[in-house]
């Protein structure tokens, strides 16, 4: 009991010291928006939020799933999709250059040249030079066909699942592991990204209102605590059309599981420091990786 108390007290004092720190660290902006079917109007929202993030000294801005557009039918979802060298991504690249800002954009509706009746749900990371430095195509698709409730939401009707986990990418705030929305429910993916060097996990999302109210905060805190990573979750919010309402509450969670930045339910941004020294101290003080029994539960292969 005494040893347990001393360890807990040491960790508590460490976290208290962190909260009192005045050390300067890079700032990340987590962004929240209400996408509609109009790509140009959505782009103008993205542009205004990037400019706000720039004014608040952030070096990277994270945007939610479907930040390019959110249509209410399969035909428009597919018809409006573009390749990654298309005009919409080109505008995002210019926006990154103009604001000297890294951008996390996920997931975009990427045109699928081999299966034209579907798209890829693709998360891209653009650096401040306008270059795509990482791409990830969503591997876990949200499919629900519940005969009892009458709810049918089948992402696989119009999305082709990705086939690989993307290695974490170096950035001004640390090594970023890319995921998308529903992926957060699968701890194996987050742990695999952490094992491969991730320091920041990001889950751009368009969570439904009901599931968001029940699980959003709990899942994000769990992913942060179990991986000892920062978690950045940009979000869609509000009413998009007659069929879709999103939960919002975009947030940044630190490796201890504390929410360090959060939006409400309106369009806007929240900003927080990303302190890799703090992350490393947490991993040292609570060395979970040293105790993981991979001999009994081997990690997924990447």
39, 138, 175, 194: which is the annotated catalytic residue?
138
pLDDT of 300 > 70? The answer is no
**Domains of the chain, first to last:** 27-285 (3.60.110.10)
181, 199, 221, 229: which is the annotated catalytic residue?
181
135 is catalytic: no
pLDDT band at 147 (very low <50, low <70, confident <90, very high): confident
| pTM higher than the cut 0.85 | yes
Average pLDDT for the chain = 92
Residue whose pair of structure tokens reads 């195509």 in the numeric block: 137
131 is catalytic: no
Q: How far is CA 231 from CA 86, 88, 157, 202, in A?
A: 29, 27, 29, 6
Beta bridge partners of 29: 61, 271
Both tokens of 205, joined, read 């999302």
31, 39, 59, 65: which is the annotated catalytic residue?
65
pLDDT of residue 299: 60
pLDDT of 224 > 80? The answer is yes
147 CB-contact burial (10 Å; exposed 0-12 / middle 13-18 / buried 19+): exposed
Contact 61, 32 (CB under 8 A): no
Compare 146 and 280 and report the one with higher pLDDT: 280
C-alpha span between 178 and 227 (Å, rounded)? 14
pLDDT band at 153 (very low <50, low <70, confident <90, very high): confident
186 CB-contact burial (10 Å; exposed 0-12 / middle 13-18 / buried 19+): middle
138 is catalytic: yes
Q: Is the dihedral of CA 71, 75, 77, 83 positive or negative?
A: negative
Compare 179 and 11 and report the one with higher pLDDT: 179
pLDDT of residue 1: 44
pLDDT (average), residues 75-100: 98
Q: Which helix (H) or strand (E) holds 103?
A: strand 102-111
């Amino acid at each position: 009991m005494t040893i347990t108390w001393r360890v807990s007290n040491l960790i508590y004092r460490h976290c208290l010291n962190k909260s009192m720190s005045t050390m300067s660290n890079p700032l990340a902006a987590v962004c929240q928006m209400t996408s509609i079917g109009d790509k140009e109007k959505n782009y103008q929202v993205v542009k205004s939020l990037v400019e706000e993030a720039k004014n608040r000294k952030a070096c990277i801005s994270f945007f939610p799933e479907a930040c390019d557009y959110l249509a209410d039918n399969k035909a428009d979802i597919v018809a409006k999709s573009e390749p990654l060298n298309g005009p919409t991504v080109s505008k995002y690249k210019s926006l990154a250059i103009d604001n000297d800002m890294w951008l996390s954009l996920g997931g975009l509706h990427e045109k699928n040249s081999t299966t034209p009746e579907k798209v890829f749900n693709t998360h891209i990371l653009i650096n401040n030079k306008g270059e795509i430095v990482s791409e990830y195509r969503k591997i876990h698709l949200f499919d629900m066909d519940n005969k009892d409730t009458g709810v049918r939401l089948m992402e696989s009707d119009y999305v082709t699942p990705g086939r690989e986990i993307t290695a974490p990418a170096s950035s001004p705030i640390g090594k970023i592991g890319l995921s998308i929305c529903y992926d957060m429910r699968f701890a194996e993916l987050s742990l695999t990204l952490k094992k491969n060097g991730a320091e920041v996990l990001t889950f751009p999302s368009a969570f439904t209102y009901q599931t968001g109210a029940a699980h959003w905060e709990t899942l994000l805190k769990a992913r942060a605590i179990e991986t000892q990573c920062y978690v950045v979750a940009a979000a869609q919010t509000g009413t998009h059309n007659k069929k879709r309402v999103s939960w919002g509450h975009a947030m940044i969670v630190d490796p201890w599981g504390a929410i360090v930045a959060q939006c409400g339910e309106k369009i806007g941004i929240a900003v927080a420091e990303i302190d890799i020294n703090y992350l490393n101290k947490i991993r040292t003080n609570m060395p979970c990786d040293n105790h993981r029994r991979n001999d009994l539960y081997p990690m997924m292969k990447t």
